């Protein structure tokens, strides 16, 4: 095998899937994919009705899908990215409605003339009318059942419905058999409508994908697909259009609506030099952008990819239901068999026909469809709702984990504070003036990208001769050192000074202190101040209102600054003077101390926080659009730099969890009730079908409540 061949990776694509109506079937199909060569990496998403698969194996994937749920089609002509339409058009419903109408008419005629025909030579007409209706509405169920039986797959809803209705026909309860299939057919139709509506609503929340870009070439604009535009190209965004790619504004001033990406409702003013991100909407002036990233790496593509992948990460409740269904349905079949056989053997005068009928009722009730559909739909609706609030949750398990958070740990700089530093005081030692000290500090910090260095350079306000600076070295968590005009200069915290034999002054002023030493002698210090974010205090108050037991702040700032911030924000616990590795050690201690109360979340801005974000039970990155490391490490990404979104995320998670539990209790409760009623003879086939399809429909509708905005 050649090197090129070994390095070749399969190129996966996403396609729409039509007629995928059974969540339980989707789960079985996914299991089959894992055992099929070439399809091990395929991902079937029931909620979004999509499949991610190697195009070479599309046909085989479709064959497997049809072996489990007949009629499923993979649309290779139109990818999900090319259209937001998920719900079938009205014309696609006509065949279903026609079958429904004809079968209902035959069913009614059979009921009207049943008794009149039964005792005549035309009694066969009863079977002709009812069985025709039965086959019209039940053919899909029957075909699926026989196909699954040949493959050794028993105990699915198709098998149960087939056995139950065959039994009804054998004991000459033809109206019951037809009624079950007809009601099931109608119920499935409305359930599919509800699921498609939910899919469409969820997709609409994320309908932020730009459809085209106005590419500027030779003074003329040409409408092209965003995927075809390369970095360095120039595009034009007109008022009312969505920004198609990430880029730098080179001409024009306007206001952009960033709500689709950040959840921020107030339009933001942009001008030349500012960055415009794909997914934003230009609301006023014409903007000319120089493209900085290809579409696949743009902000909107990353958002859509994260939300799309989120539904494949299952919550514990979803995993429990999948496992539960494996035991629940066979258990009901065993119970039904016992109900059919045991009472006639041991109870005097018990009718075998009556107890068989009761057993058939139990079989109809037993399908776990309501649980298999509504629970993943509920979680995905919650993830969609969170994205509308500017909160990206990477999976249902993280949404569930948010409901169990009892301790929230915050980084300070860039998370609770603006991260925009200003020099507020300059304190030189004897032999140096304020301007001398500021100049030396600016020169030694000239190569640093740290916010503190930026603030010093801004305060200096003049160009720095970089040729005078050599042997520059940045010391993480300490500061910087370099040779400036032939002299060794250090700038950083007290530990940096002490490490190099310099005794710094004991500073009591509030703010971040930058000590400066020249040739081993102390030259003075600068005080750098950082403003708190407007919603920082609101964040802590909102978390406490939600019942969060502990709030903690970890910072590299001095004790005086850290304790002042903690006092202002009412934070319970604070640890200061920390290096990046110290934060990780302190988080470990916090997890040991507070882990028994619930999960520990860490909120950071992604700069030097990736290890801590990864270690927390729930890692939350603030302002994640600008930090690939944060998106990679975090479980939850706040698209705008507002820490108050943490409270929103927890609210959404709790509401989603509440809806999922409601569905779980309602579906199981109703089914268990009807199982009992069926066993004692108080519920017939009609009630059994309601317990199956009706409950599924109601739970799907309940799941859509997770899409609502949090208050």
Strands 220-224 and 234-237: unpaired
Query: In angstroms, what CA-CA distances link 216 with 4, 220, 286, 293?
Result: 37, 6, 13, 16
* Continuous segment of H or E residues that includes residue 404: none
- Contact present, 86 and 200 (Cβ < 8 Å): yes
Q: With contact defined as beta carbons under 8 Å apart, do 480 and 491 qualify? A: yes
Q: What share of the chain is helix, strand, coil (3-state, %, to 5)?
A: 50, 20, 30
Instruction: Provide the pairing of β-strand 487-492 with 599-604.
Output: unpaired
Q: DSSP letters of 517-532? A: EETTEEEEEEEEEEEE
**C-alpha–C-alpha distance, residues 636 and 619, integer Å:** 6
CA–CA distance, 160 with 166 (Å, rounded to integer): 10
Q: Are strands 268-270 and 405-411 parallel, antiparallel or unpaired?
A: unpaired
In angstroms, the CA 53 to CA 49 distance is 13
Query: What count of Cα atoms within 13 Å lies in the side-chain half-sphere of residue 210?
Result: 32
Query: What single string gives the DSSP state of each residue in 447-479?
Result: T--SHHHHHHHHHH-S---GGGEEEEEEETTTE
Contact 412, 562 (CB under 8 A): yes
And the tokens for 526? 């600068």
Among 198, 175, 195, which Cα is nearest to 187's?
195
Active-site annotation, residues: 411
Helix (H) / strand (E) element for 115: namely: helix 94-118
E-assigned strand segments in 173-311: 213-217, 220-224, 234-237, 247-251, 254-257, 268-270, 275-276, 281-282, 287-291
- Give the bridge partners for 422, in sequence order: 529
**How crowded is residue 345: how many other Cβ atoms within 10 Å of its Cβ?**
9
Lookup result for tokens 């008419």: 105
Cβ(20)–Cβ(69) below 8 Å: yes
């Amino acid at each position: 095998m050649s090197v090129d061949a070994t390095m070749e990776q399969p190129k996966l694509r996403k396609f729409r899937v039509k007629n995928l109506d059974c969540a339980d079937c989707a789960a079985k199909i996914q299991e089959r994919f894992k055992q099929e060569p070439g399809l091990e990496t395929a991902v079937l998403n029931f909620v979004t009705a999509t499949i991610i698969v190697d195009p070479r194996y599309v046909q085989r994937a479709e064959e497997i899908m049809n072996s489990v749920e007949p009629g499923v089609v993979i649309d290779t002509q139109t990818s999900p990215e090319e259209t937001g339409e998920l719900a079938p058009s009205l014309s696609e419903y006509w065949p279903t409605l026609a079958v429904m109408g004809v079968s209902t008419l035959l069913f009614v005629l059979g009921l009207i003339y049943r008794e009149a025909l039964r005792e005549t030579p035309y009694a066969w007409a009863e079977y002709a009318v009812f069985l025709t209706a039965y086959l019209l509405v039940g053919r899909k169920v029957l075909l699926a059942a026989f196909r699954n039986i040949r493959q050794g797959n028993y105990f699915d809803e198709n098998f149960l419905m087939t056995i139950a209705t065959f039994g009804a026909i054998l004991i000459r309860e033809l109206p019951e058999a037809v009624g079950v299939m007809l009601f099931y057919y109608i119920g499935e139709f409305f359930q599919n409508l509800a699921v498609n509506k939910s899919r469409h609503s969820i997709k609409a929340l994320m309908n932020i994908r730009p459809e085209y870009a106005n590419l500027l070439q030779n003074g003329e604009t040409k409408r092209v697909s965003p995927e075809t535009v390369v970095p360095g190209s120039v595009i034009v965004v007109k008022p009312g259009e969505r920004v198609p790619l990430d880029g730098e504004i080179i001409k024009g001033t306007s206001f952009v609506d960033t709500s689709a990406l950040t959840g921020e409702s107030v339009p933001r003013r942009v001008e030349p030099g500012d960055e415009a991100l794909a997914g934003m909407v230009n609301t006023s002036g014409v903007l000319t952008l120089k493209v900085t990233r290809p579409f696949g790496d743009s902000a909107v593509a990353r958002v859509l990819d994260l939300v799309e992948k989120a539904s494949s990460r299952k919550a514990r409740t979803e995993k429990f239901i999948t496992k539960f269904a494996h035991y629940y349905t066979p258990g009901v079949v065993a119970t039904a068999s016992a109900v059919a056989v045991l009472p006639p053997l041991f109870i005097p005068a018990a009718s075998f026909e009556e107890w068989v009928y009761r057993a058939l009722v139990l079989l109809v009730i037993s399908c776990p469809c309501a649980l298999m559909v509504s629970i993943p739909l509920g979680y995905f609706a919650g993830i969609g709702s969170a994205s509308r609030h500017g909160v990206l949750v990477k999976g249902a398990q993280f949404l569930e984990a948010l409901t169990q958070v009892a301790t929230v740990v915050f980084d300070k700089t860039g998370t609770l504070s603006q991260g925009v530093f200003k020099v507020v005081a300059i304190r030189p030692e004897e032999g140096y003036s304020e301007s001398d000290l500021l100049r030396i500090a600016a020169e030694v910090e000239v190569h640093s990208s740290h916010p503190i260095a930026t603030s010093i350079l801004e305060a200096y306000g003049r160009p720095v001769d970089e040729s005078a600076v050599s042997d520059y070295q940045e010391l993480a968590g300490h500061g910087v050192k370099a040779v400036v005009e032939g002299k060794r200069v250090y700038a950083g915290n007290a530990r940096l000074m002490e490490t190099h034999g310099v005794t710094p002054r004991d500073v009591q002023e509030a703010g971040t202190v930058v000590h400066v030493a020249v040739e081993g002698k102390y030259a003075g210090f600068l005080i750098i101040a950082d403003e708190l974010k407007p919603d920082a205090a609101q964040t802590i108050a909102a978390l406490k209102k939600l019942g969060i037991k502990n709030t903690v702040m970890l910072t590299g700032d001095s004790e005086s600054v850290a304790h002042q911030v903690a006092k202002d924000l009412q934070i319970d616990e604070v640890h200061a003077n920390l290096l990046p590795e110290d934060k990780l050690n302190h988080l470990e201690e916090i997890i040991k101390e507070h882990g028994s109360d619930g999960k520990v979340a860490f909120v950071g801005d992604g700069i030097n926080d990736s290890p801590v974000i990864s270690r927390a039970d729930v890692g939350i990155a603030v302002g994640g659009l600008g930090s690939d490391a944060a998106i990679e490490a975090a479980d939850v990404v706040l698209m705008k730099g507002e820490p108050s979104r943490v409270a929103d995320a927890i609210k959404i998670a709790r509401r989603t969890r509440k809806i999922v539990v409601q569905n779980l209790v309602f579906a199981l409760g109703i089914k268990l009730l009807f199982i009992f009623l069926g066993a004692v003879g108080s519920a017939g086939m009609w009630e059994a079908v309601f317990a199956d399809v009706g409950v599924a429909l109601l739970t799907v509708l309940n799941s859509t409540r997770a899409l609502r905005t949090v208050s």
